[in-house]
Chain A
Amino acid sequence: MPSKIASARPVDLPEAASGPRGMIHPRWVRITHWINVIAMFVMVTSGWRIYNASPLFPFTFPPAITIGDEFDGLQGALLWHFAAMWLLAVNGVIYVVLGILSGRFRRKLLPIRPAEVIGDLRAALTGKLSHDDLSVYNAVQRLLYAGVIVAGVVIVLTGVSIWKPVQFQELAAAFGGYDAARFVHFFAMTTIVGFLLIHITLAILVPRSLRAMIIGR
């Protein structure tokens, strides 16, 4: 079994291992990452404006941090949301498929062991966690990156459930029906935005990681 998996991951292994070029992120990762930045920015900020039209909780998002005010009503935000969804979904599918086929997910994100996560989290909070080798993720990073990929899959599937609760009623039912799917969609957004706060903070604290995501190393 392991040998079979190993043979199915030739795409970026030579560069990632210890190639002379020291590539940390292959080109496909960087391209899909930055396309995703644009797609998520539009989806989240237009989504907040759509949320405001019928809030699930007793709060709304300040209109200033939303997009889609081209019209008096909700249409602008909906137009943005249902345009950027294609960018998010197509880019996301390409990323997940390449991540699995290249072996990158397995190599970079697995295994996730609770004991290691706790240990690395403690080290991170006490400032003892090293970021010397950007090509290797610590246990906390592995958990967060794997978690945000799962949240991404959930937000797309609940999005489809809300968009087409009749045509894809079986999918909507899997999330507890139309109304429940709206809540799951919201919590997936909260998870992703929470991840982004940590992710962006750390990218600022370790600028080399931002450079690696732009030029690859």
Chain B
Amino acid sequence: MPKARKIIPGVDPKLLIKDAAKLIPEPSRRLFLRGATSLGAITLLTGCDIVDADTAGKALFAISRYNDRIQALLFNPNKLAPTYPESAITRPFPFNGYYPEEDAPEIDGESYMLEVGGLVENKKSWTLEELYALPQEKQITRHVCVEGWSAIGSWTGTPLREFLKRVGADLTAKYVWFQCAEGYSNTIDMPTALHPQTQMTFKFDNEILPRKYGFPMKIRIPTKLGFKNPKYVIGMHVMNRDLGGYWEDRGYNWFSGI
């Protein structure tokens, strides 16, 4: 190490003095104390942020929106969710919702109509009979809950992208918004709506979708967290505007891809 420092133009003299001070043993004790104080300040600042939900909340939501963009970039439209054998199905498959099972909507299949709107050519509503006549596929995939638990289920229905093509949806639109019978809703991004495993589900475990799993129709999206898989769907709208959703509006991450 050179003993004589060269004075470099543009170098802050205060920093030089500070550096020089570091060479003397005694002030190092004071520097230590100063360092300790700023460490304490960091702790206090963090504590303050936690209490002040307004400031912290704004920053956290901004990062959550940034995470939406990262997840959209990470989303590979051709990457399929792993599928499992029948033997892997979780039995009984858990009921989940923000209400107890007995409060789940009871929908009359006879009078049910799926409303289709927004940026689509054919806005006619669909009866359950018409929907059941569409080509169907089965998938055994993992449902991952935002809480961390997961369960494997068997879902049968029509690929959403087939349906969107049939109704002449604008596939360059940004979002699809789903409206549910009990007031629940979700908005998903178009690339996910067009994913080959995103499904309008009519059957669970080879049986007509029971009430607890979303009769008459659920949207099964194995590339998204469970709460982004709406049940009791009564409306589907192709949009360029993000209408949010039940949990998305309550602080959960919007994209919630897995």
Contact = CB atoms under 8 A, between A and B. Distances in A.
B7 to A, nearest CB: 19
A134 B56 CA distance: 38
Contacts of A34: 39, 42
B190 to A, nearest CB: 17
Interface in A158-183: 162-167, 169, 178-179, 182
Interface in A58-75: 67, 70-71, 73-75
Contacts of B252: 74-75, 78
A70 B148 contact: no
B107 to A, nearest CB: 27
Contact of A70 (B56, B79, B144): B56
A201 B16 CA distance: 36
Interface stretch (B28-36, B166-174, B200-208): B28-36
Q: Using C-beta atoms within 8 Å of the partner chain, give the interface range for chain B.
A: 35 or more
B60 interface: yes
Interface string B244-258: 000100111100011
A20 B82 CA distance: 59
Given A50-B148, A178-B142, A214-B39, A165 B258 contact: yes
B31 A215 contact: yes
A182 B144 CA distance: 12
Interface stretch (B61-69, B112-120, B121-129, B131-139): B61-69
B48 interface: no
Contacts of A214: 32, 35-36, 39
Contacts, number: 103
Interface in B46-81: 46, 50, 53, 56-57, 59-61, 63-64, 67, 74-76, 79, 81
Given A21-B23, A179-B150, A76 B251 contact: yes
8 contacts: A21-B1, A79-B61, A82-B253, A162-B148, A163-B258, A166-B258, A178-B142, A215-B22
Contacts of A42: 46
A13 to B, nearest CB: 12
A94 to B, nearest CB: 19
A214 B148 CA distance: 38
Contact of B50 (A53, A67, A83, A163): A67
Contacts of B74: 164, 167
Contact of B253 (A14, A78, A179, A211): A78
A83 B64 contact: yes
A167 B75 contact: yes
A216 B32 CA distance: 10
A7 interface: no
A182 B31 CA distance: 43
A82 B22 contact: no
3 tightest CB-CB pairs across the interface, nearest first?
Answer: A75-B251, A214-B35, A53-B147
Contacts of B42: 34, 38
